[in-house]
Amino acid sequence: MQGDTLCEPDRRAARASEVAAGVMCMLFGCAGASRADYALNLPPPATGIARQIYDLHTLILWICAAILVVVFVPMVIALVRHRRSAGHVAHRFHDNLRLEILWTVIPVLILVGMAYPATKTVIEMKDWSASDMTIKVVGRQWKWEYEYVDEDLRFISTLSTPRSEIDNASAKNANYLLEVDRPLVVPTGAKIKLILTASDVIHAWWIPAFGVKQDAVPGFIRETWFRVDEPGTYRGQCAELCGVGHGFMPIVVEAVTPERFLSWKTEQRTQMAALKEASTREYTLTELVGHGEKVYAANCAVCHQANGGGVPPAFPPLDGSKLVAGPAGDHLDRVFNGRSGTAMQAFGPQLSDFDIAAVVTFERNSWSNRIGDMVQPAQVAALRKQP
């Protein structure tokens, strides 16, 4: 029943945008472009709130269109019929109190008509009580960290588009810049409450199809919520300018059935146990460098660049760096604790012992750096235990 009411306007909207896109294509001579390239409206709503926003926007668009006609039809008539070149002589009237009162009062009434449905939606958007599940979202330059509160499940989600696609060295895939290594997974039908914060600058968590956009403000907690009904993959991006990587900080949410969600959680637990396990053994230099390269690409390359050259002075080069050439302990400390007052964040809380050991080892043995030593996960674990 609900499915039916959702579908009909959708189909109509799709048809309307298809026609409009065709017109646009003809207008601008862009034959052959696919329909998705010329979307004219909000994306198909996936939540009740997004549906209300969609309808509210449509309503206002029609009201604006009506006002447009009321304003521009007389204007066009005046411009055509009251031209000097058509011999029209000016009538020198300049006041009409009744008319002036009318066009002040009528807009007020129209605005009240608009405010009513808008207010209803705002009140609903702000009601995150009786949620089924809480997820903590932390924005970091330039990735998202998700923590399933009460579930002991926490991971970081970063852009997975290969650098070569961004640099136009290889063909771009369909989800270019909107794909991550680990999406946020949520069960369908559940009211999910998000609590958001940030660790460095302001970010904004946004999924257009959910009608959810909320700034993540460092030092403060913000709240919002959503409930997805249909399983699927929903994509969005960070919406608040947060520095160099702002355009490379996507958000992907996978909505799955509650049963699938349970098995996903079990998988995650197993993986996390495996990761912990991985941090307890010793590795060879080749193993560490091999894994470190992947960790570097996902976490470090945005600033320090894939070739280790950095973007001085904001992001110092690691290739030939004094810090890297110095004692491994200092190098590890910088990666683990970051450097306050700069964009260098603390990776200790973000990465596993194995990841950190591997990436430090990789940096010490890549490009022109040939230090030859390595850092083992145990050293990171020791650092972690320090007060």
Taking the least distance from each CB to another protein, the nearer of 55 and 293 is 55
Q: In whole angstroms, give the CA distance from residue 315 to residue 342.
A: 9
The token pair that represents 162 in the structure block: 């290969």
**In degrees rounded to 5, what are phi and psi of residue 235?**
-120, 145
Smallest separation (angstroms) from another protein to the CB of 299: 17
| Shortest distance in whole angstroms from residue 278 CB to another protein | 33
Between residues 243 and 290, which has the closer beta carbon with respect to another protein?
243
Nearest residue (CB) to another protein, 124 versus 152:
124
CB-nearer residue toward another protein: 107 or 232: 107
> Which C-beta is closer to another protein: that of 312 or that of 387?
312
Residue closer to another protein by CB (options 251, 318) is: 251
Rounded to a whole number of angstroms, the distance between the first and last alpha carbons of the chain is 58
Residue in 252, 268, 272 with CA at minimum distance from that of residue 260: 268
**Cis peptide bond N-terminal to 313, omega within 30:** yes
Q: How far is the CB of 247 from another protein (least distance, A)?
A: 3
Q: Closest separation between CB of residue 76 and another protein, Å? A: 10
In the block, residue with structure tokens 């995650």: 268
If one counts every other C-beta atom within 10 angstroms of the C-beta of residue 77, the result is 10
46 token code pair? 């996936």
Which of 387, 337, 342, 386 is CA-nearest to residue 360?
337
- C-beta of 192: minimal distance to another protein in Å? 17
Whole-number minimum distance, CB 57 to another protein, in Å? 5
Asked if residues 334 and 343 have their Cβ atoms less than 8 Å apart, the reply is: no
Taking phi over 0 as left and psi of -120 to 50 as alpha, with beta for the rest, 152 belongs to left
Identity of the residue, 160 or 369, whose beta carbon is nearer to another protein in the bound complex:
160
CB 341 to another protein: min, Å:
8
Query: Which H or E element spans position 125?
Result: helix 97-125
Q: What angle is formed at CA 10 by the lines to CA 4 and CA 12, rounded to 5 degrees? A: 110
The first and second tokens of residue 295, run together, are 């960790």
Task: List helix spans (H) across 126-209.
Answer: 163-166
Q: How far apart are CA 360 and CA 351, in angstroms?
A: 12
Q: Is 121 helix (H, G, I), strand (E, B) or coil?
A: helix
Q: Which is nearer to another protein, 192 or 358 (CB)?
A: 192
Instruction: Find the shortest distance in angstroms from Cβ 226 to another protein.
Output: 12
